Amino acid sequence: MRRALELVYFSPPLDGSRAFTSINADAKTGQRANNWVTEVHTVEIENVRGKESNYTLDTAGFQYHTRPSKHATFVDDEEIRSEYYPESIELIKEVTGASKVVLFDHTIRRHRPGNLDTDESKRQPVLQVHVDQTPDSATARVHRHLPAAEAEKLVKKRFQIVNLWRPISHPAIDYPLALCDYRSVDAQKDLVPVTLVYPDHEGETYGVKFNSLHTWKYKKEMKQDEVVLIKCYDSAEGVAVLTPHTGFKDPSAPQGAPLRESIELRALVFYE
């Protein structure tokens, strides 16, 4: 089933300067500093429940999987790292066939209307079409999180950055996650590097410009035992390299539906 819904796209700075976004919102305004503008476009988003096998990491750039989590609370970061990280590493290896997986961080997002997204403890769903990494920032991530000698060897082989996204507490009815099939993306025209300004360093993401050929998918009411792997970067050629994605307001969500809560893990994925 396809439905026409609004998504927020990226439009480059009008003065031609390099785009940037601050990771934390201003404590007073709740807005992230940036120098670009948004464009709202109506697109069709297809519910792929029952057809999940049509989409894989190497074809579409994302892949659904069902696996209950042994860790269930998702309230303590240290417990998440000690309990949820190990089982997630094994899941990513199983799905991808990777020889080595290094998780470098996670984000819990809780939709709280009226709250300001001012720091890592208050992250809200991202309602902006984006890609988490560029080739330069992906390579920098390997060097940032692994010893220099090991990183030098690993980046010479195939490596990826993959996000593992899961609803927590209850199904994702409010503000679900939409994914753009890589086969509909024009990587040369649609993607614009955006500097991501952290308090202590800079990263880089892609802003995504509107393209009427984009095909959008989501899995309606994803449950806590359902995950999606989202490819943010792949050094291999001839496969899906990335996946634009965004949260979106689903007007079909019943009034009073529980507010979205989710966790995403970010993984460096290596192959022999």
Domain interval for residue 143: 2-270
Q: Using alpha carbons, select from 173, 165, 191 the residue that is nearest to residue 259.
A: 173
The whole-model pTM stands at: 0.93
pLDDT score, position 121: 62
Which DSSP state fits 52? G
β-strands 191-197, 19-22 pairing: parallel
pLDDT score, position 2: 75
pLDDT score, position 256: 87
pLDDT score, position 113: 79
Instruction: Answer yes or no: are the C-beta atoms of 231 and 240 closer than 8 Å.
Output: yes
Q: Which domain CATH number covers 143?
A: 2.60.120
Alpha-carbon span 93 to 85, nearest angstrom: 12
Q: Is 126 helix (H, G, I), strand (E, B) or coil?
A: coil
Alpha-carbon span 112 to 54, nearest angstrom: 34
pLDDT score, position 117: 62
pLDDT score, position 118: 57
Digit-coded pLDDT (tens) for 178-214: 999 999 999 999 999 999 998 888 889 999 999 999 9
Q: What are the structure tokens assigned to 217, written together?
A: 């998918």
The sign of the dihedral angle between the CA atoms of 110, 7, 166, 83 is: negative
Q: What are the structure tokens assigned to 193, written together?
A: 């590097």
> Among all chains, which residue has been given the structure tokens 């984006």?
130
Full DSSP string of 214-249: --EEE-TTB-TTEEEEEEEEE--SSS-----EEE--
pLDDT score, position 200: 84
β-strands 177-180, 216-218 pairing: antiparallel
Going residue by residue through the chain (272 aa), what tens digit of pLDDT does each one get? 677 899 999 999 989 999 999 987 777 777 788 999 999 999 999 999 999 999 999 999 999 999 999 999 999 999 999 999 999 999 999 999 999 999 999 999 998 777 766 566 668 888 999 999 999 999 999 999 999 999 999 999 999 999 999 999 999 999 999 999 999 999 999 999 999 998 888 889 999 999 999 999 999 999 999 999 999 999 999 999 999 999 999 888 898 899 999 999 999 999 98
What average pLDDT does the structure give for the chain? 93
Domain total in the chain: 1
pLDDT score, position 119: 62
